[in-house]
Amino acid sequence: MGSFSGRHIIDTADLATEEILHLVEIANQLQDMGRDKARHVAAGKVLATLFWEPSTRTRLSFESAMFRLGGHVLGFSEAASTSVAKGETLADTIQTVALYSDIIAMRHPLEGSAFAASTYSRIPVINGGDGAHLHPTQTLGDTYTLLKEKGRLEGLRIGFLGDLLFGRTVHTFARLLARFGAEMQFFAPEGLNIPEYVRDSLESAGANFKEREWRLESIEDLDVLYVTRLQKERFFSEEEYLRRKNSYIINKEALSKAKPDILILHPLPRNEEISVDVDPLPNAGYFRQAEYGLQMRMALIAACLGVVA
């Protein structure tokens, strides 16, 4: 197992299985430590959050994670307020920000941008989402969520429902779950199935997965249902989006057919695909999932800064 100190986090595929489990241990340790002790862990360190794309959870949970570790935060949430608007390149932006901070968390609409940034950076770069490609910190948070809520990954029957073509959280999570022996079922509206590279990767890993059409009874034998919204901003036309809108909705009635302890997850933001009448149910795990994401980001920052072993 390699040390995390100074490492970039671009794709969970770059992490050994024992390294993923080690991050889970660090997340647990930081929570067990309590708020008062944890705020000395990264005292004096600086996190830069560089977000060229909108975000609520990823950016703010990174920032909250750094504050809870006792560090400082700088950054931007739209390129219009930076010299990018004057034509500055990604390479020059990253090299400059690396002079002002100790670790970078970034989101950018171009696939491969976080990897490109890492090649220009002398400090760790953490990928907070690159286009429709990868979202490794969401996946690590989701893994932590399943371990906390279900106690295992192996043998869990997990359904993925939604826009599986553009939904980067699913691409990264499914490839990680394949390593841990989860059973996966993919349900997508027409034309929004998992991309070929994800299918190929699951097949070569010998993953247990099926692609199916969504029906009301599909929910019956699932342990976990991971729902995603239609990624409207990545659709080719409004018409294509409207044609598929509302083609799947999880509400209290749909859950009446599910196992009593089914866990409903969603990376959020949601649109109409999970009805708010599900929110009060103990099965609704999506806000707890957002909190586990924060706890995992604390672990990632601390590990990559080398301030925890």
Establish if 75 lies at the interface with ligand CP (CB under 6 A). no
Q: Minimal distance in Å, beta carbon 56 to ligand CP?
A: 4
Establish if 138 lies at the interface with ligand CP (CB under 6 A). yes
- Can you state the angle between helices 17-33 and 286-305, rounded to 10 degrees? 100
Tell me which residues in 228-267 interact with ligand CP (CB under 6 A). 267
Which part of the chain contacts ligand CP (CB under 6 A), choosing from 54-62, 152-160, 197-205, 299-307? Answer: 54-62
Closer by beta carbon to ligand CP, 244 or else 297: 297
Q: Please give the Cα distance from 150 to 173 (Å, whole number).
A: 16
Q: Please give the Cα distance from 79 to 195 (Å, whole number).
A: 29
Establish if 127 lies at the interface with ligand CP (CB under 6 A). no
Closer by beta carbon to ligand CP, 57 or else 148: 57
Question: Counting beta carbons within 10 angstroms of the beta carbon of residue 72, is it exposed (0 to 12), middle (13 to 18) or buried (19 or more)?
Answer: middle
CB atoms within 10 A of CB 140: 26
Q: Which two tokens stand for residue 203?
A: 């097949």
Establish if 136 lies at the interface with ligand CP (CB under 6 A). no
Q: Please give the Cα distance from 250 to 51 (Å, whole number).
A: 31
Cβ(11)–Cβ(113) under 8 Å? Answer: no
Q: Minimal distance in Å, beta carbon 181 to ligand CP?
A: 25
Closer by beta carbon to ligand CP, 124 or else 129: 129
Establish if 268 lies at the interface with ligand CP (CB under 6 A). yes
Among 7, 8, 45, 57, which residue sits at the site for ligand CP (rule: CB under 6 A)?
57
Closer by beta carbon to ligand CP, 299 or else 308: 299
- Bond into 260 cis (ω within 30): no
Q: Site residues (CB under 6 A) for ligand CP? A: 55-58, 129, 138, 267-269
